[in-house]
Amino acid sequence: MIFRRSLLFASLAAMCATGAWAQSAWPSKPVSLIVPFAAGGPTDVVARSLAASMSRTLGQTVLVENKLGAGGTVAASYVARAAPDGYTFFIHHNGMATAPALYRKLAYNPLTDFEFVSQAVDVPMTLLARKDFPANNLQEMIAYVRANQSKINLANAGLGAVSQLCGMMFERAIGVKLTAVPFQGTAPAMNALLGGQVDILCDQTTQTIPQIKAGAVKFYGVTTRNRIKALPDAPTLAEQGLKDFEVIVWHGIYAPKGTPKPILEKMNAAVRTALKDPDVTRRMADLGAEIAPDSKLSPEGLHSWLKSEIDKWGPIIRASGTFAD
């Protein structure tokens, strides 16, 4: 009996030492999902929609936390250094791939300092101006911007934000240089657009569709190759003459390097369940987002996608001469 009890204690001690105990009980408290931009913005909207469903699957709250700054790199540095205990996860978009070319001193390596969970949704962007901007279609807008470029500003969510990337591509496509006004997310940038303090914003449909439908902004087109179901009458920028203009915002979910594999697997399963949850699919469809195909939902799928995006954007960004020290 004494022998058996000591055996039990010995195996319990071994489980605790290897972390097996903690893993089988995971999650025993709320799990943080870090969002690198302001609450209420497009990345936050995606994160909160997934988090509500994942909380139901995991039986613990998935708590969305907004860590702002430097186009998402403040949050990424925080997660790269967080404890790999299964209680910190990170959702980020294309910025994970563009940051290495944009920031000369980046405190993390996106490919080696994280564990990879899954992709989630792909989101188109839309080109907008303040409601009283004196141009009613893309051709008028381009002509007005070219003629008044020194007076026009362009809001974004900082270097590494997709709003900055889309704005930079628009400037290059029409041959202008506008004054950038950075915010800590496009939720505050949208407020400034609605208030008429900034002129132009390129932003994801997960924030812009309600404002477009309400007629609160001027809307010039979507950044996808084809028209999107959520805005069927809206032309693409490419079909209106901005040849090959294409930006699609993809989202990856990451964890600090060293997070135990069984936890990553449970998180991956919770993401997959969320992506089939009717509450999530309905909301994402209304907001123009597409659920990522199964091939993008594995950790390996996310890792190879991120690598291909780093390889794609690095040369384009370096050629543009855009960077921060």
Question: Where along the sequence are the contacts to ligand ASP (CB under 6 A)?
Answer: 37-38, 41-44, 157, 161-163, 185-187, 203-204
Least Å distance, CB 203 to ligand ASP, is 5
Distance separating alpha carbons of residues 197 and 43, to the nearest angstrom: 23
Nearer to ligand ASP, 27 or 72 (CB): 72
Distance separating alpha carbons of residues 96 and 109, to the nearest angstrom: 9
Least Å distance, CB 39 to ligand ASP, is 9
- The answer to whether the beta carbons of residues 96 and 258 sit under 8 Å apart is no
- The answer to whether the beta carbons of residues 114 and 255 sit under 8 Å apart is yes
Least Å distance, CB 91 to ligand ASP, is 10
Nearer to ligand ASP, 15 or 316 (CB): 316
Nearer to ligand ASP, 91 or 145 (CB): 91
Nearer to ligand ASP, 42 or 221 (CB): 42
Least Å distance, CB 266 to ligand ASP, is 26
16: tokens are: 């605790």
Nearer to ligand ASP, 162 or 242 (CB): 162
**Residue 311: other Cβ atoms inside 10 A:** 10
Helix (H) or strand (E) run with residue 297 in it: none
DSSP 8-state secondary structure symbol assigned to residue 204: E
Helix (H) or strand (E) run with residue 62 in it: strand 62-66
CA distances from 101 to 61, 185, 315, 319 (A): 35, 20, 8, 10
Least Å distance, CB 161 to ligand ASP, is 3
Distance separating alpha carbons of residues 74 and 306, to the nearest angstrom: 19
Nearer to ligand ASP, 110 or 185 (CB): 185
Least Å distance, CB 38 to ligand ASP, is 6
Which residues share a beta bridge with 90?
A: 34, 254
With tokens 């959520």, the residue in question is 230
* 95-102 helix and 73-81 helix, angle to the nearest 10 degrees: 100
Nearer to ligand ASP, 37 or 90 (CB): 37
Query: Which among 85, 86, 102 is positioned nearest to 94, based on CA atoms?
Result: 102
